[in-house]
Amino acid sequence: MNIKVAVNGYGVIGKRVADAVRVMPDMELVGVADVATDWRVRTAVGLGLDVFAATPGAGTAMRAAGMPVAGTLADLLSQVDVVVDTTPKKVAALNLEAYRAAGVKAVFQGGESHATTGHSFVAQANYATALGRDATRVVSCNTTSIVRILGALQDSELLARARGVLIRRATDPGESHQGGIMNTLVPESSIPSHQGPDARTVRPDLDVVTIAAKAAHTQTHTHFWTLQLTRPASREEVLETLRAAPRIAFIRMADGLTASNTTVELMRDLGRPRGDMWEVAVWEDVLTVEGDEAYLTYQVNNESIVIPETIDAIRALAGTVTDGPTSIATTDEVLGMRRDFLPDALRAVPA
Ligand SMILES: NC(=O)c1ccc[n+]([C@@H]2O[C@H](COP(=O)([O-])OP(=O)(O)OC[C@H]3O[C@@H](n4cnc5c(N)ncnc54)[C@H](O)[C@@H]3O)[C@@H](O)[C@H]2O)c1
């Protein structure tokens, strides 16, 4: 019995969720809904997906633009077990009542507040508490990375507190003609930035403070962390802890991966769909540990890191897989996630 899934909002996140659902052995993508009529939604039609009109006005516009329309959002909801809402920030929360009325479970994204669903999700941290719920929110890209990395260190009883600086991309690559800053760096106006408090919606006991700024590029986010450990530890111990956790992979300056654009290019060369990187990419040879302090740098592909979490959230709400690690393992294997982007044999020999 496959989980029948709808995606509402076929944008940056929605199209990736739709693709991931289509390759999962236990899921079926029934259709996608949107309000747009341009190339983005036409691509879905070209892929053979059933496209539904998310609003009455959208149905009229889609038909006028000559697009095949499979039905209304209500028609789509009547055929599915779970809807993934990937509409823009603040639009999604307005849909919650319609999902409840249709008896369909709903996965929201990080643009919505924790209060919208009362539950925020990162698979490795709290899969079990999402089981059978009617809705959850997959936290944002940065928050997902924070929970993965700091959560792994906290589970190993190594982390006392974390202070991080986040350099964010200005806008998504496909939207940089519409906006985005240029030739500057824009600090967020308040400290902590929202990501640290947001991580505590998933792991309330994390002692974390984040400071963030937007930089004038579209090449993913980069985080810089100072970690107070619970005791002196070796660099190898910190690395082993991260190696043992899911959805963290390593990159190395020694391999020429010296900047965020090089990692983006590597993902393309590895044949990743759209160049996606679902893992947090930790710079292994930058990690430094001195006594009971660790210093960590990693890269987050904002467009794709939440995709595996969303797939796990679908299973958790549907209740078909009750064990988080089993769901994570299935998702990661089907997507082709890695623990190392360059296997040992392909790494640069240390000088
Ligand atoms: N872009 C990222 O890097 C990123 C990363 C993590 C989480 N998120 C979160 O994911 C969610 C979606 O963001 P996105 O970047 O994919 O947005 P997007 O703008 O790329 O896509 C949104 C899609 O929803 C459609 N839409 C607009 N109004 C609609 C409506 N009423 N009904 C149905 N469809 C509608 C738009 O036409 C568009 O196709 C947000 O909560 C965002 O915060 C985004």
Per-residue pLDDT of the chain (351 residues; tens, 9 = 90+): 899 999 999 999 999 999 999 999 999 999 999 999 999 999 999 999 999 999 999 999 999 999 999 999 999 999 999 999 999 998 999 999 999 999 999 999 999 999 999 999 999 999 999 999 999 999 999 999 999 999 999 999 999 999 999 999 999 999 999 999 999 999 999 999 999 999 999 999 999 999 999 999 999 999 999 999 999 999 999 999 999 999 999 999 999 999 999 999 999 999 999 999 999 999 999 999 999 999 999 999 999 999 999 999 999 999 999 999 999 999 999 999 999 998 776 777 766
**pLDDT for the residue 244:** 97
Report helix, strand or coil for 217. Answer: coil
Q: Which atom of ligand 1 is found nearest the CA of 174?
A: 20
Regarding the domain delimited by 141-305+336-346, which CATH topology (the fold level of the hierarchy) does it fall under?
Dihydrodipicolinate Reductase; domain 2 (3.30.360)
| Spatial separation of the C-alpha atoms in residues 54 and 250, rounded to whole Å | 40
**Cβ(199) – ligand 1 distance below 6 Å:** no
Active site residues: 141
Quick one: tokens of 299? 């890269």
Residue 200: name the closest of 211, 209, 188 by CA. 209
H helices then E strands: how many in the chain?
13, 15
Pocket perturbation via mutation, ligand 1, pick of 86, 94, 274 by most ligand atoms within 8 A of CB: 86
- Judge whether 142 is annotated as a binding position: no
**pLDDT for the residue 349:** 73
**Cβ(242) – ligand 1 distance below 6 Å:** no
Pocket perturbation via mutation, ligand 1, pick of 32, 39, 109 by most ligand atoms within 8 A of CB: 109
Q: Residue 104 burial (CB < 10 Å; 0-12/13-18/19+)? A: buried
Regarding the domain delimited by 3-139+306-335, which CATH topology (the fold level of the hierarchy) does it fall under?
Rossmann fold (3.40.50)
**Cβ(9) – ligand 1 distance below 6 Å:** yes
Indicate which residue's Cα is closest to atom 39 of ligand 1: 11
Residues of CATH 3.30.360.10 domain(s) within the chain?
141-305+336-346
**pLDDT for the residue 90:** 86
What is the whole-number distance in angstroms between the Cα of residue 295 and the centre of ligand 1?
34
Cα 167 to Cα 174, 252, 260, 299, distances in angstroms:
19, 19, 11, 10
Indicate which residue's Cα is closest to atom 10 of ligand 1: 109
Asked if residue 21 lies in contact with residue 27, where contact means CB atoms within 8 angstroms, the answer is yes
**pLDDT for the residue 38:** 95
**pLDDT for the residue 351:** 60
**Cβ(110) – ligand 1 distance below 6 Å:** yes
- Judge whether 95 is annotated as a binding position: no
The string over 209-229, giving b where at least 16 C-beta atoms fall within 10 Å of a residue's C-beta and e elsewhere, is: ebbbebbebbbbbbbebebeb
| Spatial separation of the C-alpha atoms in residues 45 and 15, rounded to whole Å | 12
Asked if residue 141 lies in contact with residue 110, where contact means CB atoms within 8 angstroms, the answer is yes
Report helix, strand or coil for 248. Answer: strand
Does the predicted model carry a pTM greater than 0.95? Answer: yes
Residues of CATH 3.40.50.720 domain(s) within the chain?
3-139+306-335
